[in-house]
Chains A and B, each alone.
Chain A
Amino acid sequence: MQLFLEQLTNGLAVGGIYALIALGYTMVYGVLKLINFAHGDLFTIGAFLGLTLLLSLGLTDHIGPVAGIIVLTLMVMGLVALIGALLERTAYRPLRTSPRLSAVVSALGASIFFQNAIMLIYGARFRVYPHDLLPTTSISLFGVDIPVMRIVLFAASLVMMAGLYYFVQRTKTGTAIRAAAIDQGAAKLMGIDVNRVIMYVFLIGPALGGAAGMMVGLYYGQINFTMGWVYGLKAFTAAILGGIGNIPGAMLGGLLLGVIEAMGATYISLAWKDAISFMVLILILIFRPTGILGERVADKV
């Protein structure tokens, strides 16, 4: 039982990270029907930018670790959002009317570009986040020691998800995004600037992904230029699990996948951890291609 609760909290913390990345995939897919393969690399960029800012600005010494990290996270989110918008402008916008697969190849090209750019700038080694920034203490809950870090991480991802949910459901821009996701042509007729909506999607998704990258750096302490690929694929799995194009679905799918993976690693096999996620993905697609919260009916032949 103790092991179970411990793994549950771990799964939720990692799941929160998956959910944040998954939101970027699901929003882009919802509006553009494009799998943004470079999204995982934007996540990596977030992790590395976070480390650079952390080490060079020394904000955590001036205004305290908590406020410092909040400010740094916001800066990382802003910078990664800019890169995301730039990516959309250069690699995806010219291909909007091209065959679907050309956009996929363009996304793969962007992914290779980002990965190698990070490797050239930061080197291929693992880079280490300072480990004394956030409290390493644990609190005891139902007889289980839960690291404070885990709770902070989970809470932070929940706050961001709630913020996004509010934005998409309640604001005018959010409504425009939802409208464009349903039918771009009709949205255009209603006077929505679809290009603008797509730009917003490519600002918000990367911002959340970048924040997730920094959170991974703080949580695990180690980052590497290739890590975006595995996290990206897991997050995409989470997006499909919840129903791609569906924002609450991505949140639920992320948390669920985090827990499934943590449980699988504990009770089945650590070595097969990644394979378990992909098997979940395949089973979901075979039996319920629309995901848990998805509504669209899958095309079948």
Chain B
Amino acid sequence: MKPATIINILVVAALLVAPYWLNAYWVDVLNSIGIYAVLALSLNIILGYAGLFHMGHAAFFAMGTYTTAILNTQFGIPVLWLMPLSGMVAGFFALLVARPIIHLRGDYLLIVTIGIVEIVRIALVNNVFGITGGSNGIFGISRPVLFGHVIRTPHDFYYLIFAFAAITVFFFLRLENSRFGRALNYIREDDVAAEGSGIDAAHYKLVAFVLGAFWAGMAGTIFAAKMTIVSPQSFTFWESVVMFTIVILGGSGNIRGVILGAFLIVGLPEVFREFAGARMLFFGAAMILMMIFRPKGILPPPPRTFNLDFLSSARGGGK
């Protein structure tokens, strides 16, 4: 077995048994890390694979969360059933907003997506259509029930979130090596060249955008279920910054790096909670230092190379 595989197995095993030794507070921190990891992985599709500078992911997260919150409190639909629907609402919204802007390059896209997340937040605060509850948000979201078991404590949620994160990782690993994943990889490296070799770059970018938003919307359901109360404060631009930073700092395009990034960005400020105000000061400084010393993130993806060894062995050269 490769050392990387062994480390993976050990980390997963440690995470599976971790709640037995941790109190509710730290399990809750792990739950937050899990949700952010899923969000960052969904952003990674857009930012890491397709190379689109997207800093408005909180908007899609908000769409999913509010879809779940509204439908659950108004119609009493069980929370977990709303997961695919929340994803679809977020994805549909992403399709609507991304269509006209997907062709924008680099920083322009970055700025537009910031604008979108702010507009969504203002719409939520202003109680748009009278369904978002204004700045107080929506409360009274019911507890999720799984196989007759009501999920209530952080320890219960831990396994729900763990399962969701595991499915996410599995799905995105499969995606990475699919035809779609490889197409995105070429587009990120050089979209003009990709277009030249017959890849419909605009189409793939749009699909990546919608898929990322869909996944963030599903994460929104879990978030709504965990909080049982949602308000616009959870979906500011800074939430987007956190997701963005997790991806870039962890290593954009690398699933393992993104998960590690979630642990660092969400977990470390909790570890240093006793330092209160000053911890965010050091956090900002650490972001700058990290970028200076590892500009491609802590775990950048391994460079993709074409394996041409079969050519030499076919010629009978061997060693």
A274 to chain B, nearest CB (A): 6
A285/B108 contact (C-beta < 8 A), A91-B288, A109-B286 known: yes
A94/B285 contact (C-beta < 8 A), A281-B111, A281-B115, A285-B101 known: no
* Neighbouring A residues of B106 by C-beta, 8 Å: 100
Whole-angstrom distance between the alpha carbons of A120 and B201 in the complex? 47
A106/B287 contact (C-beta < 8 A), A275-B122, A301-B192 known: yes
Apart from the given pairs A95-B292, A104-B53, A282-B101, 5 other A-B contacts in the complex at a CB distance below 8 Å: A100-B106, A240-B111, A281-B111, A285-B108, A298-B104
Residue of A with least CB distance to B126: A271
Whole-angstrom distance between the alpha carbons of A114 and B266 in the complex? 20
* Neighbouring A residues of B101 by C-beta, 8 Å: 282, 285-286
* Count of A-B residue pairs with CB < 8 Å: 136
* Chain A interface residues (CB < 8 Å from chain B): 29, 33, 35, 90-91, 94-95, 98-106, 108-117, 119-120, 229, 233, 236-237, 240, 271-272, 274-275, 278-279, 281-282, 285-286, 289, 298-301
> Ordered nearest first, which 8 A-B pairs have the shortest CB separation?
A109-B287, A113-B284, A112-B284, A98-B295, A278-B115, A102-B295, A275-B122, A116-B281
* Neighbouring B residues of A103 by C-beta, 8 Å: 291
* Neighbouring A residues of B107 by C-beta, 8 Å: 29, 33, 35, 100
* Neighbouring A residues of B10 by C-beta, 8 Å: none
* Neighbouring A residues of B248 by C-beta, 8 Å: 101-102, 104-105
Tell me if B241 counts as interface (CB < 8 A to partner A): yes
Question: Judging by beta carbons under 8 Å apart, are B111 and A236 in contact?
Answer: yes
Question: Judging by beta carbons under 8 Å apart, are A106 and B291 in contact?
Answer: yes
| Of A98, A100, A109, A282, most B-chain CB atoms within 10 Å | A109
Count residues on chain B whose CB falls below 8 Å from chain A CBs: 49
Residue of B with least CB distance to A236: B111
* Neighbouring B residues of A106 by C-beta, 8 Å: 287-288, 291-292
* Neighbouring B residues of A301 by C-beta, 8 Å: 103, 105, 191-192, 195, 201-202
* Neighbouring A residues of B245 by C-beta, 8 Å: 105, 108
Interface residues of B in 88-115 (CB under 8 A from A): 100-101, 103-108, 110-112, 114-115
